[in-house]
Amino acid sequence: MVLVGKKAPHFSAAAVINGNEIISDFSLDMFVGKKHVVLFFYPKDFTFVCPSELHAFQEKLDEFKERNVEVIACSTDTPESHWGWLQVNKENGGIKGITYPLIADQTKTIASNYGVLFGDYVLNENDELEAEGPMISFRGLFLIDKEGVVQHQLVNHLPLGRNVDEALRIVDALQHHEENGEVCPANWEKGKDAMIESFDGVADYLSKN
C-alpha cells in the first residue's frame, strides 16, 4: 500500500505521552496546520531491535523539535505494556527516558490502515476467523506534512532497524522544497545545492557538481 500523496489515515487511540501518562484519545488531528509528523511503527514492546530504534529517535528528538516535527511511535501493544516498558532502564532492555508519544494500536486497525500490519484475519475451512501471521507491525515510517498528507514512507521487515539520520534528512528535504520550491537530488543534505524543477535548473546544478 502506497500512501504517499494521500491524506494520512485518521485514528484516535490510547497512547502514553511524556513517558508516564496514558490518554485515551490521541490523534494526528492535533498537529494538522501546526507541525510536520514523523510517525513510525515498531513490532513489539520488550524486544531487542525495537529499543535501539526508540532510543535513537529520543537521542535526536531535539533536532526534530528544532524543525517543528512531532515524533510519534506506534505498536500493536496495549498502553499498559507501553507504560511498563517505560519503567525499565535502558541497560536492562527498557525504554525509560522516552518522552515522545507511544500509540497503542490494540485493535491493529492503525497498522492495517497504514499498510504495515504483518498478517491478516482469514476464514478457515470451518468458517472460523483466525489470524494468519504474527499480527504485529513491520517497521514502517511515514513523514506527514502540516496538511496531513503523507510525503514519504519507508517499510522495513522485522530484522532491519532504521537510520534516524536519514529520517532527519528527508525532513530537511521536504522543508527545503516547501520553503524554496526547489527539488532535492540524490544524497542531498541540508546546506547543499538543490535544483529548480526545469532543464535549466538541472544544467545549473550539474555545472556546480
Q: What residues are annotated to the active site?
A: 50
At a CB cut-off of 8 Å and minimum separation 6, what does 100 contact?
57, 58, 61, 70, 71, 72, 73
Strand partners, 78: none
Q: How far is Cα 4 from Cα 117, in angstroms, rounded to an integer?
A: 17
Transcribe 33-77 into DSSP letters. TT-EEEEEE-S-SS-SHHHHHHHHHHHTHHHHHHTTEEEEEEESS
CA angle 148, 153, 157 (to 5 degrees): 140
DSSP state, residue 31? G
* Residue 184, number of CB atoms within 10 A of its CB: 20
65: left (phi over 0), alpha (psi -120 to 50) or beta: alpha
